[in-house]
Chain A
Amino acid sequence: MTFLSILILLVGGWGIAARLLPAGHSLAMRLAHAWLLGAFAVSLLMTLFGGILSGALLAGAVSLVMLSAGISSFRIPVPRGLPKGAVEWALCAVILCECLFLARFAQLTAIAWDGLTVWEIKARIALANGGSLPLDYFSDATRVWSHPDYPLMLPMLETWIYLWLGVADQSAVRILFPCFYLAAILLLYSGVAELSGKRWWGLLIAALLFFIPFFTDGNTNAFTGYADFPLAVLYLAAVLALITYLRQSSVPSLILFAVYAAALPWMKREGAILWLCLMLVAGAGFLKRRRLRHALLAALPGLLVILGWKLALAAARTVPNTDFLPINAANIRHHLDRIPIIAQWVAREIISIHDWSLLWPLCAIALLTLAIKGNRGMSLRLLVLIGMPLSIYSGIYILSSWQPFESHVACSLDRLVSQLALVALLTIGIAF
């Protein structure tokens, strides 16, 4: 049943991807987008239909929509041929070995703290309620630690599997996380190969993902049920879609960008910050091309998700999050002395070989290289898309209500940095 639920998701995503991807896209790109778009679509449909349907009817209705989307556009892209030369074959073999190793590793890795207490708990409760979260949950003061205000993309995906199984099964739901990892590999390969024009280089960058210890080996690695890695993959997809739009100016690529940007705040609250950064970079492009209609089209889905979720939380009388103090001048002024401490933490984190290997130093060199090579526009865009969220993420600790606030930084900064890591790897792939 788990396999069937994943297959339906992929079929639907495959059809949606066929409509939105540019002509001549590769099979790897199609597969990655099929997973990500299918996941977004299933989670949205589960949330929307969950208000009126439950149990088998809910699973049936979502399946029907997904299968219709898939079957109506089931064109298979023309393969671009087998790898050429020993280098490409060797890199393919390396990636295959990495995937086999990680598949086994993921099978053994337990869902960890946030994975259980923030995300999986919602799926478990939703299953007990027929597939949607009951209103009681949002106002339950005894479970406020589970962050009822966090968005539902991951919990609804997990509920989708549980609904098909008929039981909340933590050993089955872990299949979701290797799928996101695989999507990241495929996106990095296809994105870098297309932008650099070198397939072997795309394969090499995709193979390097394995050597970022934070994702493959850390306490909150990509398979521990946290939403940070899936968010990082969606951000990578959004950035790639934005680059494609800025090169082609086509409406399908614009819609693809808008959809991925909208998926970010649906995956995690920080996604709203990533959405804002994407809109700023895209906004500069729209302004240059004088495309107001395109700007509206790009912003609308994300605005609907952000405001719709805010309204739903208010209507459900959700217990407010108390991790941060209210944003006002007095609170900011009172905690400005935290800035040097936060800066030290950020610096320590991004040079941590233990977490990131050489990712961040190489990313900085890559941005410089891009600028020197004359691709200043791309360099500036990627700098904003990495630097701005990092600055906002760091700055928000000024208003942390934890005592001491350093404990808040210690338990979350590395995960916030991880959300930008795939775009940093893409930057390296584009620059060299």
Chain B
Amino acid sequence: MAAAFVVCGWYGFASGISRRVTGNGPFNSIDVLLSEALHVNQPAEKISAALSNLKGDGPVAILVPQDGVYDNLVLPEISTISWPRQFYLIHCRDGDVRNELLALRARHFAGALVYNLHPPILPSNVCRIGRLTAVPIAQ
């Protein structure tokens, strides 16, 4: 009985599908997920730094393509990093980032993270983190 249990258990090990960390660090598990989606090393620390440079304590938003494919792991992870700011998800219609950013400014957002979209001509203080662009909004 025990031998059969061991053999069948061994057969199940073949998958090995859990994600592996590549190093130590305060964000090393979040980084495993975010680097897959953003195609950049140590993204969590970079996002954290970008968010800490935003002025005021207003909310932040992530702009994602309306119909685009994006990893649903990205949003909660970035939201976790952005605490204590409120964090909104905005689907960008027709990829019109400029109008969305103007709308966020009117709503007193501190900044936006543009994901997998082509931002319009932006001020020089944007921060690019792989497929993500952090855009300060509050003056």
Interface residues of A (CB under 8 A from B): 108-113, 115-117, 120-121, 124-125, 128, 134, 136, 140, 142-143, 145-146, 167-171, 174, 204, 208, 210-214, 216-221, 223-225, 353-359, 362, 432
Contacts and interface: CB of A to CB of B under 8 A. Distances in A.
Contacts of B19: 109-110, 112
Contacts of B11: 353-354, 357
B59 interface: yes
Most A Cβ at <10 Å: residue of B2, B10, B13, B18: B18
A317 to B, nearest CB: 16
Contacts of A213: 9, 12-13, 15
18 contacts: A109-B19, A109-B21, A110-B18, A110-B19, A112-B19, A117-B80, A125-B83, A167-B26, A171-B26, A208-B2, A217-B16, A218-B17, A224-B18, A353-B12, A357-B5, A357-B8, A357-B11, A357-B12
B8 A142 contact: no
Given A112-B18, A117-B77, A174-B29, 16 more contacts: A109-B20, A111-B29, A120-B80, A121-B80, A125-B84, A140-B86, A171-B24, A210-B9, A211-B10, A213-B12, A221-B18, A224-B18, A357-B5, A357-B9, A358-B4, A362-B1
Contacts of A169: 25-26
Interface of B: 1-2, 4-6, 8-13, 15-21, 24-30, 32-33, 59, 73, 76-77, 79-80, 83-84, 86-88
B101 to A, nearest CB: 18
Nearest to B30: A116
B5 A358 contact: yes
Given A111-B29, A142-B59, A353-B8, A216 B13 contact: yes
A176 to B, nearest CB: 13
Contact of A110 (B12, B32, B80): B32
Nearest to B32: A110
B1 A168 contact: no
B18 A218 contact: yes
Most A Cβ at <10 Å: residue of B16, B80, B84, B86: B80
A217 B18 contact: yes
Contacts of A220: 18
Given A113-B73, A171-B25, A355-B12, A219 B18 contact: yes
A116 B9 contact: no
Contacts of A170: 25-30
Nearest to B25: A171
Contacts of A204: 2
Contacts of A211: 5-6, 8-10
B119 to A, nearest CB: 22
A358 B8 contact: yes
Most A Cβ at <10 Å: residue of B2, B4, B87, B88: B2
Contacts of A217: 12-13, 15-18
A38 to B, nearest CB: 24
Contact of B12 (A134, A142, A225, A354): A354
Contacts of B13: 213, 216-217
> What 3 A-B pairs come out closest when comparing CB atoms?
A211-B9, A213-B12, A357-B9
Contacts of A212: 9
Contacts of A208: 2, 5-6, 9
Contacts of A216: 13
Most A Cβ at <10 Å: residue of B12, B15, B79: B12
B36 to A, nearest CB: 11
Contacts of B29: 110-112, 115-116, 120, 170, 174, 225
B83 A128 contact: yes
A219 B17 contact: yes
Nearest to A201: B2
A359 B21 CA distance: 30
Given A171-B26, A358-B5, A143 B87 contact: yes
Nearest to B23: A171
Given A111-B29, A128-B84, A142-B86, A116 B15 contact: no
Contact of B76 (A128, A146, A353): A146
A373 B88 CA distance: 61
A112 B76 CA distance: 12
A112 B16 CA distance: 14
A116 B5 CA distance: 32
Given A110-B29, A225-B29, A142 B88 contact: yes
Contacts of B8: 211, 353, 357-358
A109 B20 CA distance: 5
A99 B9 CA distance: 16
